[in-house]
Copies of this chain bind each other. A is one copy, B any other.
Amino acid sequence: MPKSPKNAISPTRTENYPEWYQQVVKAADLAETSDVRGCMVIKPWGYAIWENIQRTLDGMFKATGHENAYFPLFIPMSFLEKEAQHVEGFAKECAVVTHHRLEPDPDGGLRPAPSAKLDEPLIVRPTSETIIGATFARWLESYRDLPILINQWANVVRWELRSRMFLRTTEFLWQEGHTVHATEEEARKETRLMLDVYADFAENVMGMPVIKGEKTEGERFPGAVATYSIEALMQDGKALQAGTAHFLGQNFSKAQEIKFQDQSGFEVYAWTTSWGVSTRLVGGLIMTHSDDDGLVLPPKLAPAHVVILPIYKDDAQRAEVLAYCESLKTELTQKRYDGDPVRVRIDDRDIRGGEKKWQWVKRGVPLRLEIGPRDVAADGLFVARRDVGGKGQGVARNEFIANVSRSLAEIQQALFDRARQARDASSVRIDTLGEFEAYFQENAPGGLAYCHFVDGAETEAKLREMKVTSRCVPIDAPEESGACIFTGQPSKRRGIFARAY
Contact = CB atoms under 8 A, between A and B. Distances in A.
Interface of A: 32, 34-36, 39-44, 47-48, 50-51, 67-81, 84-85, 92-104, 108-113, 121-124, 131, 134-135, 138, 144, 150, 154-155, 157, 159, 171, 173, 349-351
Contacts of A159: 100-101
Contacts of A112: 96, 98, 121
26 contacts: A32-B135, A34-B135, A36-B74, A36-B122, A39-B73, A41-B71, A41-B72, A41-B135, A47-B69, A48-B68, A51-B68, A77-B109, A78-B109, A84-B104, A84-B110, A92-B101, A92-B110, A94-B102, A95-B97, A96-B97, A96-B98, A96-B102, A98-B112, A99-B121, A111-B121, A144-B351
A72 B104 contact: no
Contacts of A42: 69-71
A400 to B, nearest CB: 26
A177 to B, nearest CB: 13
A150 B85 CA distance: 44
Contacts of A154: 155
A80 B102 contact: yes
Contacts of A122: 36, 95
Contacts of A155: 73, 154-155
A41 B68 contact: no
A67 B471 CA distance: 38
A100 B74 CA distance: 14
Given A43-B69, A150-B44, A155-B155, A102 B75 contact: no
A63 to B, nearest CB: 14
A72 B131 contact: no
Contact of A44 (B40, B67, B350): B67
A98 B118 CA distance: 12
Contacts of A74: 36, 39, 95, 171
B41 A70 contact: yes
Contacts of A98: 96-99, 112
Given A144-B350, A349-B144, A102 B123 contact: yes
A359 to B, nearest CB: 13
A148 to B, nearest CB: 10
Contacts of A101: 92-94, 96, 159
Contacts of A81: 109-110
B97 A35 contact: no
Nearest to A138: B32
A280 to B, nearest CB: 15
Contacts of A109: 77-78, 81
Contacts of A40: 72
Contact of A92 (B67, B69, B76, B103): B103
Contacts of A51: 68
B70 A47 contact: yes
Contacts of A351: 144
A31 to B, nearest CB: 9
B68 A47 contact: yes
